[in-house]
């Protein structure tokens, strides 16, 4: 029973760490498309083609269930995949819905009509492609009314994190938060809409200031996946071995991943 986790680069490792802690008995196969990262500056058709190819590779590893631990892929490709491409015996899940359910205080599967919620002013920090897709606003509109979302495209942050330049990443985060606050001076909540951003969560919190609740995805996705597998045990695939795969240079990616998670990670060529 293996579950696939896909990201364009290393950001999905934050999700992997959380779900592996929540489900230690489940083997996970991680696929990083480092050769083509970052996805956040690509158009929707390009993201769709790259994402479907990666998911098919994870199916080859015995993963009938794949988590798109990439907000850009979830925003630009997931709905199209589910509507016209996905075979009936496979599942691909994104990372937006658990976050929105937490924000709107809904339980999984609550499909009741949209209603008013306690939070009315929300800041969304994400890649340019995720912001352009408006996928977060679309999913939120299914569940809540009266919520003003101000989105900030955080160009350069993913590249800086992938390159290990955390000084530049911090400077960029603070610059993007300043830009957001010029448009929405007093957000009540902030969404970190990229799986790289949990590494900068403390910087976001400091730049946003007290009183702003920051929602990060890794733990919420882990809880949602555990619940999903309890309800759908048949979706645990045939794979039995945990692996790390990359389209990039395995040695370079392994070094970066080890620094990323602060434990030794070894990637193989995909």
Which residues are marked as active site? 70, 194
Q: Which residues pair with 124 in a beta bridge?
A: 151, 191
Query: Which candidate, 129, 14, 11, places its Cα nearest to that of 70?
Result: 11
C-alpha 81: how far from chain center: 17
- State the sign of the Cα–Cα–Cα–Cα dihedral 248, 254, 255, 261: positive
Measured CA to CA, the distance from residue 241 to residue 247 in angstroms comes to: 19
């Amino acid at each position: 029973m293996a579950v696939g986790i896909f990201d364009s680069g290393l950001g999905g490792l934050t999700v992997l760490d959380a779900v592996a802690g929540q489900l230690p008995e489940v083997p996970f196969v991680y696929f990083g498309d480092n050769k083509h990262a970052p996805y956040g500056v690509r158009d929707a058709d390009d993201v769709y083609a790259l994402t479907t190819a990666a998911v098919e590779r994870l199916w080859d590893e015995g993963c009938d269930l794949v988590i798109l631990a990439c907000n850009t892929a979830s925003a630009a490709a997931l709905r199209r995949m589910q509507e016209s491409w996905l075979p009936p015996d496979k599942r691909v899940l994104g990372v937006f819905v658990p976050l929105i359910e937490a924000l709107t205080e809904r339980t999984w599967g609550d499909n009741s009509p949209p209603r008013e919620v306690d939070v009315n002013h929300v800041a969304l920090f994400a890649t340019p492609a995720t912001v352009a897709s408006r996928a977060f606003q679309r999913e939120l509109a299914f569940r809540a009314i009266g919520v003003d979302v101000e989105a900030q495209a955080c160009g350069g942050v993913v590249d800086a994190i992938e390159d290990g330049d955390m000084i530049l990443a911090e400077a960029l985060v603070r610059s993007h938060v300043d830009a957001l606050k010029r448009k929405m001076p007093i957000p009540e909540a902030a969404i970190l809409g990229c799986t790289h951003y949990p590494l900068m969560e403390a910087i976001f919190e400091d730049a946003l200031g007290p009183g702003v609740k920051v929602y990060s995805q890794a733990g919420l996705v882990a809880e949602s996946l555990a619940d999903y597998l309890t309800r759908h045990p048949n979706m645990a695939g045939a794979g039995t071995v945990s692996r790390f795969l990359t389209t990039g240079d395995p040695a370079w990616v392994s070094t970066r991943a080890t620094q990323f998670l602060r434990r030794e990670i070894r990637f193989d060529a995909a």
